[in-house]
Amino acid sequence: MSDRPRVAIRTLGCKLNQYESEQLREDFEALGFVTVPFDAPAEVYVLNTCTVTHRTDRDARRLARQARRRCPDAVIALTGCCAEMHAGELEALGVADVIAGNDAKPDLARIAAERLARHRPVPPAAPTCDVERLVHRFPDNTRAFVKVQEGCDASCAYCIISAARGPSRSTPLDTVLRQADLLGRGGHPEVVLVGTHLGAWGRDLDGSLPLAYLLGAVCDLDSVPRVRLSSIEPCEVTDGLIAMVCAGGGALAPDPALPGRGKVCRHLHIPLQSGCDATLARMNRPYESALYRDLVTDIAAREPRVSVGADVLTGFPGESDEEFAQTLEFVRALPVAYLHVFTYSERPGTAAAEMPGSVNPQVRKQRTRVLRELSEQKAAAFARAAVGERLEVVVETPRDEAGRLVGISDNYLRVAFDGPDDLVGHIVPVRVTGAEGATLSGSLLE
């Protein structure tokens, strides 16, 4: 057994947290730690938490207690948005030895190591010299995330994340490019640009560069084969972004004449939240349903094989049966490929938490089930339309139950096919031969 101390890191919540967990992993490894799975014995356990719902808060406390039972003498560290918003409560419960908010993440490895050193010697190691804390690899992911922005200046009535993450801050362009290049050269076939409020990138930088400029600059990196955008607000999906997405395809040999050189994935995740204008107004969302409908319809008309996903929130205060029915019919008519459906959860400190008209929790759950069933139908229909197509697929792990390789196409379809292990981590061409639900079957092309 190695004398190096072990650290186990568990991530809850968003892709931004996943990126920051990899920063934490490399911080710990630079101090001499070895990373192990979260269910293994370790000297330090780190939970990078989320506070979007009551459930994510509860999960953080449960996992911390599990780690304590597994290794009573370990240092338990909580960071992320739950630690940011509920530090006092977590401290009173005694579930962690270290509670660090989001701004303290760069110091967390050092703090945990110092706490551990009180109980056992920690082998000295040279600290990292990378002040930008660039991530060199995502060892458990084929596709890699690049943090380009953090924080949010919006004031959606249901959301606590603007308080947990603070105001919008953009990662400088040159830092984003160094990070994307590092991950591309490290063998990741796809990078995903992520942020709390992705469309706000550039507004606080000199020159107010648009997100489309950043996307094009990442595409110009020879080391990066494919680029995907994470969630982006409907008012921030510009004509320039649409052109790059519609000209995408994740091609193995992208046409340099295409916007984005054909590297941009044909995939946009655009939060809707409600199809009822009255509900949107109470949510303090900065658009009406007609804008969203026109946007998604335009994308589908320009390139029907672009996968558009939508977030929908059920059970918001005051959502009547009629308002929910309006949302249901609105979404049913939209050319979207899938939905992420969330059940409203009261968050103290938000405007919605003080609103009248609380919806019965069972009604909220029922509405969520209805929309998730609709999502399954839409996802299956979008997948069936791909039969016969040639898709470029990033091969991931593990294999499926039938022993087939599994990967993600540029337009966010899950594809299973037979092939050798050495294809994992590469983009390969696959001919789609069938569909079962939202999963495609295919055959590898030469």
- At residue 337, φ and ψ (nearest 5 deg) are -90, -25
User: Which of 127, 120, 176 is CA-nearest to residue 147?
Assistant: 176
- Averaged pLDDT, 400-425: 96
Q: Per-residue pLDDT for 251 more than 60? A: no
- Averaged pLDDT, 186-194: 97
Q: Hey, what are 62's tokens? A: 């449960």
| Helix (H), strand (E) at residue 10 | strand 6-11
**Amino acid 206: pLDDT:** 79
**Amino acid 446: pLDDT:** 81
- Averaged pLDDT, 250-259: 55
User: What is the CATH code of the structural domain delimited by 6-117?
Assistant: 3.40.50.12160
d(CA 44, CA 78): 11
- CA 317 from chain center: how many Å? 26
Higher pLDDT, 339 or 120: 339
Q: Which residues contact 401 (CB under 8 A, 6 or more apart)?
A: none
The b-or-e profile of 347-383 (16+ CB within 10 A means b, else e) is beebbbeebeebbeeeebeebbebbeebbeebbbebb
Q: Per-residue pLDDT for 252 more than 60? A: no
Segments of 320-384 assigned E as strands: 338-343
Q: Hey, what are 310's tokens? A: 């939508």
Residue % of the chain over a pLDDT of 70: 94
Domain segments of the chain: what residues? Answer: 6-117, 144-384, 390-444
User: Which of 158, 81, 156 is CA-nearest to residue 348?
Assistant: 158
**Amino acid 144: pLDDT:** 97
User: Which of 426, 430, 432 is CA-nearest to residue 445?
Assistant: 430
- Averaged pLDDT, 3-31: 95
Q: Per-residue pLDDT for 128 more than 50? A: no
The single-letter DSSP state of residue 284 is: T
**Amino acid 130: pLDDT:** 57
Q: Which residues contact 62 (CB under 8 A, 6 or more apart)?
A: none
d(CA 393, CA 410): 7
Check if CATH label 2.40.50.140 holds for domain 390-444. Answer: yes
Q: Which residues contact 326 (CB under 8 A, 6 or more apart)?
A: 275, 276
User: Which of 12, 13, 45 is CA-nearest to residue 28?
Assistant: 45
Residue % of the chain over a pLDDT of 90: 90
Q: Per-residue pLDDT for 334 more than 60? A: yes
Q: How confident is the model at residue 249 (pLDDT cuts 50, 70, 90)?
A: low
The domain 144-384 is placed in CATH, from the list 3.30.43.10, 3.80.30.20, 3.30.420.40, 3.30.9.10, at: 3.80.30.20
Mean pLDDT, rounded, of the chain:
93
Q: Per-residue pLDDT for 323 more than 80? A: yes
Domains 6-117 and 390-444 fall in the same CATH topology: no
Q: Which residues contact 410 (CB under 8 A, 6 or more apart)?
A: 226, 228, 248, 249, 250, 265, 266, 267, 391, 392
The b-or-e profile of 135-160 (16+ CB within 10 A means b, else e) is beebeebbbbbbbbbbbbeeebbbbb
**Amino acid 231: pLDDT:** 98
- Averaged pLDDT, 400-419: 97
Higher pLDDT, 53 or 439: 439
- Averaged pLDDT, 282-304: 98
